[in-house]
Amino acid sequence: MSSPTSAAPVGRPRSGARRLPAATAREEILDAAAELFASRGYAATSTRLIAERVGIRQASLYYHFANKEQILAELLESTVRPSLTFAASLSARSPADALHTLVHYDVGVLLAAPWNIGILYALPEIASEPFAQFRREREALRAVYRSLTAAAGGSALTGEFIFGLAENVIGMRRDLSTLPPADALQDAVADAALRLLGAA
Amino acid sequence: MSSPTSAAPVGRPRSGARRLPAATAREEILDAAAELFASRGYAATSTRLIAERVGIRQASLYYHFANKEQILAELLESTVRPSLTFAASLSARSPADALHTLVHYDVGVLLAAPWNIGILYALPEIASEPFAQFRREREALRAVYRSLTAAAGGSALTGEFIFGLAENVIGMRRDLSTLPPADALQDAVADAALRLLGAA
C-alpha cells in the first residue's frame, strides 16, 4: 500500500512507520491479524509481527488494542454478532421461515469475512477470560437456532445439527479448493437446514 | 499409575523415569500428548512436557516418535482411519443404508476417542508435510461420503453437508457440557444424514 521505492513523503516518521487515521489503522490491524492468525496460527503470531505487517510501530498497535487476545476477541465476535443482531429482526416470520432466513444470513457472514477466522473457534485459548464475551454471543446465537428449531417442531439435537451445518461452511472454506458462489451456497445450506427439520 | 510413595522397584532408572513395555509406552505417549494438545494447545506442548507427563525420559519418547509432528499425525490418523477401513465393508448395502451405517460408525469413532483430538483439524500446521498422510486419509473418507451420497441420489454439496454433520460431533464434544449417550447420538446423526439426503 505504501510505495517504499519512491521518495518518502514529507513528515513520514523516521522509523519508516506509517501514520494512519485511527479507524483505518484499527481495520488494518484486524485484517492483518486475521490473515496471520488464520495462516500461521494464533500462538505463532506476535503483536510485533502484526504491527510490521501493517507497517506501523508496535506502540501504535497498543494504542488500539491492549494485547493480542483483544484483537482475536474482536475478530471472533465479528463472526457471530451480525447474525445475532439479524436474528432479532425475524420474530414476525414463521419459525421455519425465520430459521431458513437466519441460516442464509449466517452463512453469508461466515463466507464474507476476508479471512476464515472461524477456524480459530477450536483454539484452547478460547476458554479463557478475554473470550468470555465471544463465547456468550456464540452461545446466544446457538440458543436462537435451538429455539427456532423447537418452535418449528424440531428436537434440541436437530437445532444443534442445524447450528453445526451453518458453521460447517468454515470447514468447507478451509478444506475445499473451490466453493460454489456465496449466494448458491447460502441457498443450499438454508434448504438443507429445512430438510434436517423434516420440512419440505 | 506408578506409586511414587512406595519403595522404588529394583532396577528403576536413577532419574526416576519409568521403564515401560514398548507398546504400552507408545500408547501412553499418545494418550498424554492427546490430552495436552487438546487442553493446552499443540504449539504450547513440548515433547519434554509429554515425556514428563508419561513419566519417561525425553530420550525414550524419541525412541518411539521422531518428533511432535509424528505424534500428532498418528493421533489425527486414528480419527479417520477406522472409518475409512469400515467403509470398505459396506459395498453390499444399498447406498442410503451404507451411508447411514457409515455415519453411525464414524460418529462412534469420534465420540470414543478419550480426547477430542478432532479439534486440531483446524491447526494451520496440518497443511504441512508431516500431515500429508492424514490429509489423504481424511480426503478419502470425504470422497466415500460424497460417492455414497451421489449413489443415493444426493448432490455433491449434500455429501459435503453429511460429512460435516458427522464431524460436527467434534464441535459438540467441545462446546456442550452434556451430550446424549454415544449410541443415541450416533442414531440421531445417522438419521439426520438421511433427512439431509431427502430420504424417509
Q: How far is B178 from chain A (nearest CA, A)?
A: 12
The per-residue pLDDT for range B76-132, each reduced to its tens digit, is: 999 999 999 999 999 889 999 999 999 999 999 999 998 999 999 988 889 999 999
Is the domain of A111 the same as that of A138? yes
- Here the cell at position B127 is 497443511
Among A76, A110, A161, A185, pick the best mutation site for testing chain B contact (most B Cβ within 10 A): A161
Q: Is residue B188 part of a domain?
A: yes
What does the alpha-carbon distance between residue B124 and residue B137 come to, in Å, rounded to a whole number? 18
Mean local confidence (pLDDT), A43-58: 96
Is the domain of B57 the same as that of B74? no
Give the pLDDT score at B6.
43
Top-confidence residue, A69 or B1: A69
Q: How far is CA B64 from CA A21, A89, A111, A169, A193, in A?
A: 55, 57, 42, 37, 46
Give the pLDDT score at A18.
77
Taking CB atoms and an 8 Å cutoff, what residues of chain A touch B164? 164-165, 168, 171-172
Q: Is B185 within 8 Å of A38 when comparing Cβ atoms?
A: no
The per-residue pLDDT for range A14-46, each reduced to its tens digit, is: 456 777 777 789 999 999 999 999 999 898 999
Is the domain of A118 the same as that of A149? yes
- Cβ atoms of A118 and A110 within 8 Å: the answer is yes
ipTM: 0.87
**What CATH number is associated with residue A157?**
1.10.357.10
Q: Is B127 exposed, middle or buried (0-12, 13-18, 19+ CB in 10 A)?
A: exposed
Q: How far is CA B4 from CA A70, A165, B8, B16, B197, in A?
A: 43, 48, 7, 9, 56
- Cβ atoms of A26 and A64 within 8 Å: the answer is yes
Q: Is residue B1 part of a domain?
A: no
Give the pLDDT score at B27.
95
Is the domain of A83 the same as that of A153? yes
Share of chain B above pLDDT 70, in %: 91
Q: Is A164 within 8 Å of B161 when comparing Cβ atoms?
A: no
Instruction: Tell me the average pLDDT of chain A.
Output: 91
Q: Is B168 within 8 Å of A172 when comparing Cβ atoms?
A: no
Is the domain of B79 the same as that of B34? no
Place of cell 492427546: B34
Is the domain of A185 the same as that of A86? yes
The distance in angstroms from the start CA to the end CA of chain B is 50
Q: Is B161 within 8 Å of A168 when comparing Cβ atoms?
A: yes
Give the pLDDT score at B124.
86
A103 pLDDT more than 70: yes
Is the domain of B51 the same as that of B106? no
Give the pLDDT score at A17.
73
**What CATH number is associated with residue A60?**
1.10.10.60
The per-residue pLDDT for range B8-51, each reduced to its tens digit, is: 444 444 456 777 777 789 999 999 999 999 999 898 999 999 99
What does the alpha-carbon distance between residue A112 and residue A116 come to, in Å, rounded to a whole number? 9
Taking CB atoms and an 8 Å cutoff, what residues of chain A touch B141? none
Q: How far is A103 from chain B (nearest CA, A)?
A: 14
Q: Is residue A7 part of a domain?
A: no
Taking CB atoms and an 8 Å cutoff, what residues of chain A touch B125? 41
Give the pLDDT score at A20.
75
Place of cell 419440505: A200
Secondary structure element (H or E) that encloses residue B62, with its range = helix B58-64
Give the pLDDT score at A16.
61
Q: Is residue B163 part of a domain?
A: yes
Q: Is residue B7 part of a domain?
A: no
The per-residue pLDDT for range B147-165, each reduced to its tens digit, is: 999 999 999 999 999 999 9
| Residue ranges making up the domain that contains B51 | 22-65
Give the pLDDT score at B16.
61
The distance in angstroms from the start CA to the end CA of chain A is 50
Is the domain of B52 the same as that of B106? no
Q: Is residue A117 part of a domain?
A: yes
Q: How far is A51 from chain B (nearest CA, A)?
A: 21
Is the domain of B87 the same as that of B141? yes
State the total domains in chain B: 2
Residue A105 pLDDT level (bands cut at 50, 70, 90): very high
Residue A99: how many other CB atoms lie within 10 Å: 29
The per-residue pLDDT for range A118-163, each reduced to its tens digit, is: 999 988 889 999 999 999 999 999 999 999 999 999 999 999 999 9
Which of A38, A171, A196 faces B196 most closely, judged by CB atoms?
A196
Q: Is A44 within 8 Å of B44 when comparing Cβ atoms?
A: no
Q: Is B168 within 8 Å of A168 when comparing Cβ atoms?
A: yes
Place of cell 500428548: B33
- Cβ atoms of A119 and A168 within 8 Å: the answer is no
Give the pLDDT score at A19.
76
Is the domain of B80 the same as that of B168? yes
What does the alpha-carbon distance between residue B13 and residue B58 come to, in Å, rounded to a whole number? 13
Is the domain of A54 the same as that of A118? no
Give the pLDDT score at A134.
98
What does the alpha-carbon distance between residue A61 and residue A45 come to, in Å, rounded to a whole number? 14
Q: Is residue B6 part of a domain?
A: no
Is the domain of B140 the same as that of B55? no
Mean local confidence (pLDDT), B138-155: 97
Give the pLDDT score at A85.
97
A16: left (phi over 0), alpha (psi -120 to 50) or beta: left
Which of A120, A180, A195 faces B195 most closely, judged by CB atoms?
A195
- Cβ atoms of A143 and A80 within 8 Å: the answer is no
Give the pLDDT score at B189.
98
Which of B121, B171, B195 faces A164 most closely, judged by CB atoms?
B171
Q: Is residue B17 part of a domain?
A: no
